[in-house]
Amino acid sequence: MYIKQFFEPKSSTYSYFLMCEESKEAIIIDPVQCDIEKYLEEIKQQQANLQYIFETHIHADHITASHTLKTLTSAKSVVHKNSGVECADVFITDGCDFRFGQQLLQVLATPGHTNACTSYYAKGYVFTGDTLLINGCGRTDFQGGSAEKLYQSVHRKLFTLPSETIVYPAHDYKGNFSSSIGHEKEYNPRLALHISQEEFIHIMANLDLAYPAQIDQALPANKLCGRVQTSDCD
């Protein structure tokens, strides 16, 4: 499987282009509107047939490129059924499978950062959105977030994957590209195996985080699958 990781610096967002090299069927996970030209160029260069556009959750820090990609390709947009988004083409829940060429993508419901957070597992790789970051995790204080649910999502779902599984998150703020399940189980300062659920809840309740800078623009737009007239990409 071919994987290309993209980084959008304004929101420190990673998005991912995955392609079956035999069939050229491809998917994108968490595309950012500001990077639409990069995705289109990658699709062209690889001569790919984009099948699906997956969201790990409804983002509060950037506008998705889902609508634009749907318009310019034949791809279908995919979100969790609890997202409250009505404009998507496919609504998923835990255990759904998607095939693109010879590759299989499995849906893992991992709520906690938001109530509709979803991770995607392809053998050897897991795309965790904001549920599990490199040495961290997403906040749990808005969009139906729950520290208890996030802890359980990580420990009961993600940490049951093979330790060598590569972790590809939706964000990183320190220049890291990926991690592994084994590393996060041992070293994640919030979620490592030796940290109890009660300790994690206490950590998350005392983060004192600022109001998300782009939430007032991003959330309404993303509830429309990113269908907006203009977006701030500067």
- Please state the rounded mean pLDDT for residues 161-165: 98
Of 44-48, 142-146, 149-153, 196-200, the range with the lowest mean pLDDT is 142-146
Q: Tell me the per-residue pLDDT of 21-61, one tens digit each, with 9 for 90 and over.
A: 999 999 999 999 999 999 999 999 999 999 999 999 999 99
The CA-atom distances, in angstroms, between 193 and each of 47, 125, 155, 163 are 43, 20, 8, 13
Question: How do beta strands 76-80 and 90-92 pair?
Answer: parallel
Copy the structure tokens of residue 149.
């649910």
Cα gap 210→208, rounded to integer Å? 7
pLDDT at 76 over 90: yes
Task: Report percent pLDDT > 70 for the chain.
Answer: 98
The CA-atom distances, in angstroms, between 49 and each of 54, 97, 182 are 15, 19, 34
Taking the domains of the chain in order of start, what are their residue ranges?
2-208
pLDDT band at 218 (very low <50, low <70, confident <90, very high): very high
Cα gap 76→62, rounded to integer Å? 20
∠ CA 37-54-18, nearest 5°, is: 65
Task: Report percent pLDDT > 90 for the chain.
Answer: 90
pLDDT value at residue 212: 81
pLDDT band at 213 (very low <50, low <70, confident <90, very high): confident
Contact 161, 168 (CB under 8 A): no
Contact 107, 29 (CB under 8 A): no
Q: Tell me the per-residue pLDDT of 106-120, one tens digit each, with 9 for 90 and over.
A: 999 999 999 999 999
Looking at residue 25, what DSSP letter applies?
A: E
Classified by CATH at the fold level, domain 2-208 comes out as: Metallo-beta-lactamase; Chain A (3.60.15)
pLDDT value at residue 233: 76
Contact 80, 91 (CB under 8 A): yes
The CA-atom distances, in angstroms, between 61 and each of 11, 38, 118 are 6, 19, 17
Closest C-alpha to 114, from 94, 144, 91: 144
pTM of the model: 0.96
